[in-house]
Amino acid sequence: MSDGESSASLIETHGGVMRFAADKPLRLDSGARIDGLEVAYNTYGRLNGARSNAVLVCHALSMDQHAASRHPVTGKPGWWDQVIGPGRPLDTDRLFVICSNVVGGCSGTTGPSSIDPATGEPYGLKFPMVTVADMVRAQAMLIEALGIEQLFAVVGGSMGGMQALQWAADYPERLFSAVCVACAARHSAQNIAFHEVGRQAIMADPDWRGGDYARQGVRPEKGLAVARMAAHITYLSEQALQRKFGRELQRDGLSWGFDADFQVESYLRHQGAAFVDRFDANSYLYITRALDYFDLAASHGGSLAEAFRRARDVRFCVFSFTSDWLYPTSESRQIVRALNAAGARASFVEIETDKGHDAFLLDEPVLHAALDGFMRSGAQVRG
Amino acid sequence: MSGPNEYQGKVREDFREIVRLVRPGSRVLDVGCGEGELLELLSREKGVDGRGLEISPEGVSACLARGLAVVQGDADDDLDYFPARAFDYAVLSQTLPQVRQPRHVLSELLRIAERAIVSLPNFGHWRIRLDLLGQGRMPVTHELPTPWWETPNIHLCTVRDFTQLCDELDLRIEACAALANGKPARPIEPKRALENWRAESALFLLSRANATAKLPSGEQKADLFG
């Protein structure tokens, strides 16, 4: 991600926090609702006069709205800096790119670390359970508030791709195209299992305090770090780990103890430690739960094709990576077959790479070229 | 832009013939669409609503750049997932000998489309027969340019074999043309023994023999039965 360093500051960034009045609550799948919803978002590029060039970028589990601008906490370039910007696939010279933090998140949008207006204290576990459909509902409120009737595209990788699918299922008339990278239409048993390990790590941390840590002035950093370490392994392929680290040692010789002898251990510890600086443990619980609950077919009578029945006019583009074992190609193929069965206009590419799931965040020329082609041709068709 | 199939501004002869056969504004699935030359030609000249199926990621990427809707996949595994009558035409250009189950694929083409357009090299061409007879070796020709050990063709057949399979599947051959390198397509009666000697390659327009008249769109159907 260091390649984009120089350009990060060049992209004009706007945005802020959209506050919805109490008479515009976010109604959740669980039946609960959130009053006074706040949605934090960034925008890149300019909205044209016809309001027809807006692209919503949906972020993944551990990301936020800082898709193409420097992260305020870490100072690092945006997580999709290589995809969003002038002359890039999501070309900010032509497109108006919006990225908002998901509901349940911890980067400015209402989530478990926000203040509950009913009590004046952080929600903690009093925060209602949210789903991917709830995240999309909150985004739809933001898009409407920004005065955009139809999005040119909804684009996302991993959990972001799931949101793009949910958009197509729930608001087919409000998007012209959808791009889903490295995602699935439902969480598998293995996906749920890994998330459960992460959640248990957080909840086993004595500083989690039953989710009430914010009020008690502590943070379950150890638990969240372990959750991140376990999850991070699922983002990489075996080959990528082997290529990066092999059995290389941190120092000459073994410590004959439990220090991080191997470079891969040190790397994971670093990933864990860095994550706790920018992420909230309860948000991690809520968002992983939302993903586990995600099953687009189940909410449409068990038929994924049925979910896309109303989305026949949406142009879809689905990407998968050969070495992604978190959301493998077979999952993307399910999506594509359902799209074909529904008669939707679908394209699908499986990209050869050994970088695993994280390939969607990395320099993948084939992905970028294909995405660029898809976006350009879409713009031509739409005029 | 010129791809490997479009040299010196000339369009591949079978593509030219396919474009001629397809009704304007129809829905077309090109199975094994490569880099999308035919689909682009069809959408430019006939205004078709085209979709593609292509096995190579490079091919699919090239198609995306042309603005085509193409799915990475193959004829053997992915046709099953298309609904019946989703297309007016399914095109399989010089690909049938490369699939694992030609009979199944052919049958699937005519499930998902009203008509199939299939072109294939004719292993019954006189030069191939002579090569085999004279040299006792697998022929290498313009239509079959690779040696046996690297050919993607695993199910070669003759025009006669193919027409027999069409009969078995109860398919109607609506039109057939012999194709030869650099020459215009020549309409033929494919069941004539002589054509099985003469045609280097043949292109068929097929439909289901028992196909009922095309159902009108949903709205009209409601009127008919309501």
A297-346 pLDDT, tens digit each = 999 999 999 999 999 999 999 999 999 999 999 999 999 999 999 999 99
A19 pLDDT higher than 80: yes
Contact B78/A at CB under 8 A: yes
* Average pLDDT value over all residues in chain B: 88
- pLDDT value at B224 more than 90: no
User: Could you tell me the residue ranges of all domains in chain B?
Assistant: 12-210
Q: In the prediction, which pLDDT does A12 show?
A: 81
pLDDT of residue A7: 45
Mean pLDDT within A30-40: 97
Per-residue confidence (pLDDT) for residue A353, from 0 to 100:
95
* CATH class entry, domain A191-288: mainly alpha
- Bridging pattern class, strands A54-58 and A96-100: parallel
pLDDT at B211 over 70: no
Out of A352, A369, A380, the one facing B67 most closely (by C-beta) is A380
How many beta carbons lie within 10 A of that of residue A317, not counting itself? Answer: 27
Q: How far apart are the C-alpha atoms of B113 and B88, rounded to whole Å?
A: 5
Q: Contact A8/A69 with Cβ under 8 angstroms?
A: yes
pLDDT mean over A16-27: 96
Mean pLDDT of A350-356: 95
**Per-residue pLDDT tens digits for A151-202:** 999 999 999 999 999 999 999 999 999 999 999 999 999 999 999 999 999 9
- Segment among A144-158, A207-221, B175-189 with least mean pLDDT: B175-189
Q: Could you say which of A187, A332, A357, A358 is catalytic?
A: A357
Q: Is A347 near chain B, with CB under 8 Å?
A: yes
pLDDT at B219 over 90: no
Average pLDDT, chain A: 95
> Cβ contacts (< 8 Å) between A351 and chain B: which residues?
57
% residues pLDDT > 90 (chain A): 93
pLDDT tens by residue, A227-286: 999 999 999 999 999 999 999 999 999 999 999 999 999 999 999 999 999 999 999 999
For chain B, helix, strand, coil in percent to 5 are 35, 25, 40
Taking residues B14-33, what's their average pLDDT?
95
Contacts of B60 in chain A (CB under 8 A): 347-349, 370
User: Which residues in chain A have their CB less than 8 angstroms from residue B87's CB?
Assistant: none
The DSSP string of A39-108 is EEEEEES---TTS--EEEEEP-TT--S-SSS--TTT-PPPTTTTTEETTSSEETTT-EEEEEPPTT-SSS
- pLDDT at position B210: 75
- Which of A374-383, B9-18, B183-192, B198-207 is the least confident region? B9-18
In the set A114, A158, A283, A332, the catalytic residue is: A158
**Lowest-pLDDT choice from A95-109, A267-281, B59-73, B97-111:** B59-73
- Chain A CB contacts of B67 under 8 Å are 373, 376-378, 380-381
Residue A21: is it exposed, middle or buried by C-beta count within 10 angstroms (0-12/13-18/19+)? Answer: exposed
pLDDT at res. A383: 72
pLDDT of residue B143: 85
Taking domain A2-187+295-382, whether its CATH number is 3.40.50.1820 is answered by yes
* Cβ pairs bridging A and B (under 8 Å): 68
Rounded mean pLDDT, B196-216 = 81
Section A34-59 average pLDDT: 97
Q: Does the structure show a pLDDT above 90 at B8?
A: no
A323, A324, A332, A358: the catalytic one is A324
Strands (E), chain A: 13-19, 26-27, 33-34, 38-44, 54-58, 84-85, 90-91, 96-100, 115-116, 121-122, 153-157, 177-181, 315-321, 345-351
Of A333, A343, A369, the CB nearest to B61: A369
Domains of chain A, by residue range, sit at 2-187+295-382, 191-288
**Which of A177, A317, A349 is the best mutation test for B, with the most CBs of B within 10 A?**
A349
Nearest-Cα distance to chain B for A376, in Å, is 8
Query: Is some CB atom of chain B closer than 8 A to the CB atom of A377?
Result: yes
Q: Quick check: B63 and A347 CB within 8 A?
A: yes
Q: For this structure, is A324 an active site residue?
A: yes
Beta-carbon contacts of A124 under 8 Å, excluding residues fewer than 6 positions away, are A112, A211, A212, A213, A214, A215, A282
Could you say which architecture CATH assigns to the domain B12-210?
A: 3-Layer(aba) Sandwich (3.40)
* A188 tagged catalytic: no
Q: Is the pLDDT of residue B221 over 60?
A: no
- Mean pLDDT along residues A2-15: 58
pLDDT of residue B13: 82
Answer yes or no: pTM beyond 0.80.
yes
Q: With 80 as the cut, is the pLDDT of residue B1 above it?
A: no
What whole-number percentage of chain B has pLDDT above 90? 77
Distance from CA of B91 to the nearest CA of A (A): 17
ipTM of the complex: 0.84
Distance from CA of B85 to the nearest CA of A (A): 11
Predicted confidence at residue A40, as pLDDT, reads 98
∠ CA A68-A70-A71 to the nearest 5 degrees? 105
pLDDT surpasses 50 at A3:
no
Calculate what percentage of chain B has a pLDDT beyond 70: 88
Q: Do A347 and B64 touch (CB under 8 A)?
A: yes
Q: What is the pLDDT averaged over residues A51-75?
A: 96
Instruction: Report the residue from B57, B63, B82 with minimal CB separation from A366.
Output: B57
B182 touching A (Cβ < 8 Å): no
pLDDT given for residue B7 in this prediction: 43
Look at A19-28, A138-147, A310-319, B12-21 and tell me which has the smallest mean pLDDT: B12-21
Tens digits of per-residue pLDDT, B81-121?
A: 899 999 999 999 989 999 999 999 999 999 999 999 999 99
Q: Does A357 qualify as catalytic in the annotation?
A: yes
pLDDT attached to residue B10: 60
